[in-house]
Amino acid sequence: MLKHKKKIFFIVVSIFLLAGCDSSNVIQSSHTHFFDHYFIYPFSLLILFIGNTWLHQSIGFSIMLVTVGVRMLLAPLNILQYKNQLNNKRIQPQLQELKEKYKDKDPESQQQYQREMMKLLKENGANPLMGCLPLLVQLPVFSIVYYAIRRIDEISASSFLWLDLGHADPYFILPIAAAVATYLQSKVMQSDVEGMNQSQAVLSRVLSPLMVLSFGIFSPSGLVLYWMTGSLFMIFQSFVLKKVVQEKVALEAK
């Protein structure tokens, strides 16, 4: 459940950060603002270069291709996170035994419980903070994509299928597709989340897609396209990780 709370928190933080941003100023190469000059503008040039050079001026396909590239760069972090997840899942019976052993709420028992729990996590390569790292890396990338779409005229004025990339989807098709992709991503990844009962699984499986849908209805289509492509890539990556990494971790545990 903790992993899905982090994902929901990431979505909420993104909404508040982006909702309060001034996106009226068009970014140009002459801008001296550090974030604009060294991150947003080069990123937008990459999207435009790929779209105009390789994809017959399709900025939408370029956003999707760049999204896949970003996700591939983040893949090592996701692999570490997945291994950590499997290790957490494997030691759940031992963690439960510790809870039963130190079920008294007095400070001394709880301190001893914390010490033994941290020792158990360390011995089994399970880091409770590892789940936050990929999300912390994604947040600035997400912001860069948002600003590139909203504040670069050539991107915001581009069309893709029925979409104007700088404006929300008037038919709500893309936000619905992004919500469905998020739902499938949650469902695929839930089997490896430790300590999640059925009610928690249903709750997390419903909340994330609903928030993505709400966010997507009012967001630029290019940003929703980025989110949906990322979710589809994560579904594919989850199947690969389950096939390759899960077997490797099982062998290492023997």
Alpha-carbon span 222 to 210, nearest angstrom = 19
Alpha-carbon span 182 to 209, nearest angstrom = 5
Beta strands in the chain (DSSP E): 159-160, 163-164
- The highest-confidence range among 13-27, 176-190, 235-249, by mean pLDDT, is 176-190
pTM of the complete model beyond 0.85: no
Q: Which amino acid is at 163?
A: L
Predicted pLDDT at 217: 93
Rounded to the nearest integer, the mean pLDDT of the chain is 78
Predicted pLDDT at 177: 96
| 195-217 pLDDT tens trace | 455 556 666 778 888 988 998 99
Mean pLDDT confidence for 169-192: 87
| 236-245 pLDDT tens trace | 998 888 877 7
Give the tokens for residue 99. Answer: 């809870």
Predicted pLDDT at 248: 64
Alpha-carbon span 193 to 89, nearest angstrom = 7
Alpha-carbon span 172 to 179, nearest angstrom = 11
CB contact at 8 A, 61 and 160? yes
Residue 14 makes CB contacts below 8 A (sequence gap 6+) with 139, 142, 143, 215
pLDDT surpassing 60 at residue 32:
no
Domain ranges of the chain: 2-8+31-89+130-253, 92-125
